[in-house]
Amino acid sequence: MLGLHSKDFKTLVIVAVLTMLAPFILNPFPSGSAMAQFNAGYPDLMQRFVIFGIFAIGFNILFGLTGYLSFGHAAFLGVGSYSAVWMFKLLSMNVIPGIILSVIVAGIFALIIGFISLRRTGIYFSILTLAFAQMSFNLAYSVLTPITNGETGLQLTLNDPRILGVSATESGGIPVTNFFGAEMRSTYELVVGGWDFQFNTGYYFCAMMLLLAFYLSIRIFRSPFGLMLRAIKANKTRLNYTGLNTRPYALAAFVISGMYAGLAGGLLASMDPLAGAERMQWTASGEVVLMTILGGAGTLIGPVVGAGFIKYFENIFSKINDSVLHGWFDFLPQGMENAAVWVTEHFVGPGWHLTLGLLFMLVVTFLPGGLVEGGQRLARLFRRKSGDKPDAASQSKPAE
């Protein structure tokens, strides 16, 4: 169905179900309970889950499938955001033109950078992409301020011309982004007992973009083009000895990956019409590398899992402060409570990076295939317990 094998179609269905039911899945605890701190079913965070999932899916095509490690993919994320905001300022608040422009501009930018960077391989390629990303960041931060508005960031104003829309609403405010009239910030709340479920228009729009991006990545993985990318990763030198020029294939993978990043940047701007140079910093490029490796580089669903994992830690664990910790340990004597809070605060709040780093080290050490490999091991364990022994052929298949 949809041109996919049954296994791939099942994977797509699983991703679709998880994204559509995310407001329920990510709100397991009642709103007023102490464990509500770990709920993640609010619109802004759910949007980030799927947007950075798209970013990671695109990066996985270049790194996981082709074997080229880029440290500069944040440049395309930033270019996509700037393009979308300019479209909102000049043309319309409809998100579709902004997203289309984001993908096109990011693709052109990736074509230029990739054409130069792919003259080198290995660490030299990685350093070149990092250099281009940092140059882009500095240009956006200081040199190109008429286009990017420098450190303040590009944002909407009441003076924007907006050819196909109004510059200001009847109440005198700035119009909001929409999808043919459906406002991205529109949210419907469903209260069931102690649970508060939020269904956001912007989230479901991003979720549909994620499903489309995921479907395209499956088609790329299973296509002859994807097979050539796998061959480049396996042994590029041997392919060159056959007389085959691998650069056009690698460049195509680089451009596709950059367009995915541009789509993610356009979606970020569509949810919050603001574009800043910080989205082009090297830390953002490093983050997508972590997402892909943590979830499972070279797998289909791994980058999405890794993106959700890191964004969950960033937004949930980073908000746990001293007052929350004292509430958790208030059943202990005063001295023990203070000691427990002192130890725990190094792993949450501002120290959440330490927890993420430890988890990343554990995954890389014991699960080289990422979280996807961990899930496969658990599945095999349960199958053995149930007496269903998998055949040798299924065990030898790669994690996809």
Question: 282 — phi, psi (to 5°)?
Answer: -65, -25
Q: How many domains does the chain have?
A: 1
Domain contains 119? yes
Nearest to 82 by CA among 288, 269, 271, 272: 269
Q: Is residue 391 part of a domain?
A: no
SS3 for 92-143 is CCEHHHHHHHHHHHHHHHHHHHHHHHCCCCHHHHHHHHHHHHHHHHHHHHHH
Give the pLDDT of residue 86. Answer: 94
pLDDT at 389: 56
Closest by Cα among 309, 290, 247, 278 to 114: 247
pLDDT of residue 303: 92
CB 234 within 8 Å of CB 226: no
**129 lies in a domain?**
yes
User: Helix or strand or coil: residue 246?
Assistant: coil
pLDDT at 263: 96
Query: Helix, strand or coil for residue 199?
Result: strand
- Distance (Å, rounded) from C-alpha 57 to C-alpha 211? 11
* Cα–Cα nearest to 226, from 114, 69, 61: 61
Q: How far apart are CA 105 and CA 330, in angstroms?
A: 54
Coil/strand/helix, residue 98:
helix
pTM comes to 0.91
Q: Which backbone phi and psi does 332 adopt, to 5 degrees?
A: -85, 160
Query: Between vectors from CA 284 to CA 280 and to CA 287, what angle results, nearest 5°?
Result: 160
CA distance 194 to 335: 34
> Which pLDDT does position 399 carry in this prediction?
47
pLDDT of residue 22: 92
Which residues make Cβ contacts (< 8 Å) with residue 263, sequence separation at least 6? 54, 58, 80, 99, 102, 103, 106, 209, 213
- Beta bridge partners, 382, equal none
CA angle 176, 180, 185 (to 5 degrees): 35
152 by DSSP, 3-state: which?
helix
At 28, list the tokens: 């397991």
For residue 191, give the H/E element and its range.
strand 187-192
Distance CA 250, CA 68 (A): 8
Residue 312 inside a domain? The answer is: no
Q: List, run by run, the mean pLDDT of 10-residue segments along the chain (400 residues).
A: 85 93 91 82 91 95 93 94 94 94 96 94 92 92 89 88 84 88 91 89 95 95 93 88 90 96 95 89 89 90 91 84 84 88 86 85 86 86 72 49
pLDDT of residue 387: 66
Examine residue 252 and state whether it is found in any structural domain, yes or no: yes
Side-chain-side CA neighbours of 326 within 13 Å: the count stands at 6
Identify residue 260 by its one-letter amino acid code: Y
Contact by Cβ (8 Å): 133, 71: yes
Classify residue 354: in a domain, yes or no: no
Bridge partners of residue 183, in order along the sequence: 178
Structure tokens that stand for 186 in this block: 């529109």
Distance CA 44, CA 26 (A): 13
Q: Is residue 295 part of a domain?
A: no
User: Residue 170 corresponds to which amino acid?
Assistant: E
User: Counting Cβ atoms within 10 Å, is residue 365 exposed (0-12), middle (13-18) or buried (19+)?
Assistant: exposed
Per the CB < 8 A criterion, the answer to whether 315 and 40 are in contact is: yes
Nearest alpha carbon to residue 298 among 234, 359, 383, 215: 234
Residue 363 lies in a domain: no
Boundaries of domain holding 81 = 6-27+39-278
